[in-house]
């Protein structure tokens, strides 16, 4: 491919005073749905999606469901109308988080510079990994192979001189593919595309560009910068010009520890039963405590948020006397916060629990009481964590949580 013309007033995309950046964007294909299909092989030939059954939204749909028009973020009711025989699978966020953690641990063997974009996608700066692992395409294919080998799920990989281009490349490679855009291929890749495919250009901006006759990225790139600044303002005009030539100096930011860990539940139907709400607070407190222990962290503050039928939301927080990762301690504080709201049969739509102000478990000092046994609930929960890791999330449960959760599976009627 012949070298493209350089953008006016700048260098080719991704160039710098030293070596050009090499950014990899890895995106798990239909992540939640793919993980569920591994656990439930009988769903391989069935349209299904992960999300709420009677209400809520689709979190992830497999490709058979997508062929019926079902997509992420769609209300579950609409998804069922589009695909009446689709199977609705309740989400298991603990399991998804565990799979994600394993995938990110794999990324860490490739490079130190890993930035999580979400639970199922990440940017990796692999510029410093070439000497050890080989050329970029080989590294990308190795990542895809290892993810599939370890987790039995597929991912799409884009490799390019910048984060924006790498993400666009992984989108083009979906599903289960790899696309590499070399520095000399940037213009040839970008300029034929419609402007709406640029990262950050939404429907409103697309309409404004179309009104000016700018339908492709090439049209945008060859519009004088002064014209773009007059039409969109100095800052936005400059940004559009940079995008059109593939210039993006945004670095990969190394992962930082989570500042809080939480969970929430949307009830299938609004409820005014405080007993049901307390049961869900216990379930959520258990999830949060498990995630805290998995992350090697304890938290100092518990927050409860309650959303009502009219979508108003109340949030209350309270500090713990000592950092904790114990279910009973988080649950007791959550109940106290909920009861302090003084609700009079108010109909609750959603409830959530979050623990923040995290510290490493090893540095969290706990003052024992005189009557405290040598081994308590924390040791019991750590033992349960080990059993669950080996035999699955339902291997050990509290008796009060063995009833069907509010997000239990929904199966459509038999034909």
Quote the strand ranges of 361-398, DSSP E.
none
* 120 backbone dihedrals φ, ψ, rounded to 5°: -125, 15
Based on DSSP, count helices (H) and strands (E) in the chain, helices before strands: 15, 12
Does 27 appear as a known binding residue? yes
Quote the strand ranges of 119-207, DSSP E.
121-125, 155-160, 178-180
**Two tokens at 357?**
């102000």
Distance CA 357, CA 122 (A): 25
- For 352, residues 6+ apart whose C-beta sits below 8 A from its C-beta are 262, 263, 264, 265, 284, 304, 305, 306
Classify residue 163 by its DSSP letter. Answer: H
**Two tokens at 197?**
């495919």
Of 36, 54, 115, 121, the catalytic one is 121
Check residue 404 and give left, alpha or beta (phi > 0: left; psi -120 to 50: alpha). Answer: beta
Is the Cβ–Cβ distance between 43 and 36 less than 8 Å?
yes
The beta-carbon contacts of 345-348 under 8 Å, at least 24 apart in sequence, are 345/272, 346/272, 346/308, 347/270, 347/271, 347/272, 347/308, 347/309, 348/267, 348/270, 348/271, 348/272, 348/277, 348/306, 348/307, 348/308, 348/309
Is the Cβ–Cβ distance between 284 and 267 less than 8 Å?
no
Grouping H, G, I as helix, E, B as strand and the rest as coil, residue 109 is helix
User: Is position 258 annotated as part of the catalytic site?
Assistant: no
Residues that are catalytic: 121
Q: Which residues are documented as binding site for Mg(2+)?
A: 27, 120
Q: Which residues are documented as binding site?
A: 27, 120
């Amino acid at each position: 491919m012949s070298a493209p013309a350089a953008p006016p007033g700048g260098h080719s995309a991704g160039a710098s005073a030293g070596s050009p950046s090499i950014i990899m964007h890895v995106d798990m294909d239909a992540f939640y749905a793919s993980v569920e299909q591994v656990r439930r092989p009988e769903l391989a030939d069935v349209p299904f999606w992960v999300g709420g059954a009677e209400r809520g939204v689709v979190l992830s749909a497999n490709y058979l469901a997508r062929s019926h028009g079902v997509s992420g973020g769609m209300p579950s009711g609409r998804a069922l109308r589009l695909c009446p025989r689709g199977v609705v699978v309740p989400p298991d966020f603990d399991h998804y988080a565990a799979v994600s953690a394993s995938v990110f641990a794999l990324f860490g063997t490739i490079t130190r510079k890993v930035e999580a974009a979400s639970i199922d996608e990440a940017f990796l700066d692999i510029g410093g990994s070439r000497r050890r692992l080989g050329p970029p395409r080989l590294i990308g294919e190795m990542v895809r192979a290892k993810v599939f080998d370890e987790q039995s799920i597929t991912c799409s990989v884009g490799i390019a001189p910048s984060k924006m281009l790498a993400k666009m490349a992984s989108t083009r490679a979906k599903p289960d593919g790899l696309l590499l855009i070399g520095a000399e291929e940037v213009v040839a890749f970008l300029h034929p595309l419609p402007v709406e495919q640029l990262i950050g250009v939404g429907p409103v901006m697309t309409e404004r560009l179309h009104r000016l006759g700018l339908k492709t990225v090439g049209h945008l790139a060859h519009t004088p910068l002064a014209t773009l600044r007059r039409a969109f303002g100095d800052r936005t005009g400059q940004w559009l010009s940079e995008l059109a030539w593939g210039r993006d100096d945004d670095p990969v930011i190394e992962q930082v520890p989570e500042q809080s860990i939480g969970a929430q539940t949307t009830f299938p139907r609004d409820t005014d039963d405080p007993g049901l709400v307390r049961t869900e607070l216990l379930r959520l407190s258990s999830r949060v405590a498990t995630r805290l222990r998995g992350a090697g962290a304890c938290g100092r503050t518990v927050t409860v948020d309650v959303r009502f039928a009219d979508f108003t939301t109340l949030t209350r927080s309270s500090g713990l006397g000592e950092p904790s990762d114990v279910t009973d301690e988080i649950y007791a504080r959550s109940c106290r916060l909920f009861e302090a709201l003084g609700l009079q049969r108010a109909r609750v739509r959603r409830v959530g629990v979050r623990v923040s102000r995290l510290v490493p478990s090893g540095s969290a000092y706990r003052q024992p009481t005189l009557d405290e046994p040598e081994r308590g609930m924390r040791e019991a929960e750590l033992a349960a964590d080990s059993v669950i890791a080996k035999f699955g999330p339902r291997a050990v449960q509290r008796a009060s949580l063995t009833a069907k959760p509010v997000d239990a599976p929904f199966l459509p009627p038999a034909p």
